[in-house]
Amino acid sequence: MNITEEQFRKALGLFPTGVTVVTVPVHCGKTVGITVSSFTSVSLSPPQVLFCLSKHSKTQPVFEVSPYFAVNILKANQSHLSDGFAQRMPLNWDSFHTHYHTTTECLLISEALGNVICEKAAVYDGGDHDIILGRVIDVIVNPNDLPLVRQRGQYLTIQSIPDEPSMICKVK
């Protein structure tokens, strides 16, 4: 059976996923980052993560040469950053705080839910995407907020219930 891209996209859109912005050190005087929802942990020992990046992305050549990257895990109220780094709307750099990781010089979103800083370990062919594996060298965690989540192309609102895990409750 042949599956169309639309069928595949629709099926995978059923799976809710967190939203991140992946950044690298300043390249040619420019700050580079991209919205990524294909992010996952790979290993606890050694700590490793991966994300997938379209080979057609304008930022792909920068990620290809950078030895480091940072995964900024977005909070529920940061959909404007997701849209901005995905270039769905102009990014207003004055609307959020950033700083640079001291060792890697990766741009970090200061108010993100968390930052996972990595040394690139490998790049694998994933069809029309590169699978970028990173060895985690530092983490910053701000667990007092809820994550930004997408499903079926829309942002979801997550509500915490005391003494119970977070649950998805409605579409924004």
Model pTM score: 0.88
Main-chain dihedrals φ then ψ at residue 159, nearest 5 degrees: -125, 130
Which among 74, 77, 69 has a CA at the least distance from the CA of 22? 69
pLDDT on residue 103: 94
Sequential DSSP letters for 46-78: TEEEEEEEETT-TTHHHHHH-SEEEEEEPBTT-
Q: Which domains does the chain have, with CATH numbers?
A: 5-171 (2.30.110.10)
Dihedral angle of Cα 102, 107, 108, 111, to the nearest 10 degrees: 120
Question: How far is 129 from 126, CA to CA, in rounded Å?
Answer: 5
Which among 25, 10, 64, 18 has a CA at the least distance from the CA of 41? 18
Residue 76: how many other CB atoms lie within 10 Å = 18
pLDDT on residue 12: 85
**Do 9 and 62 meet the contact criterion of CB atoms below 8 Å apart?**
no
What tens digit of pLDDT does each residue of 43-89 get? 999 999 999 999 998 889 999 999 999 999 999 999 999 999 998 66
What tens digit of pLDDT does each residue of 14-47 get? 888 999 999 999 877 778 899 999 999 999 999 9
For the cut 60, the answer to whether the pLDDT of residue 170 exceeds it is no
Spell out the residues 6+ positions from residue 4 whose beta carbon is closer than 8 angstroms to its own.
Answer: none
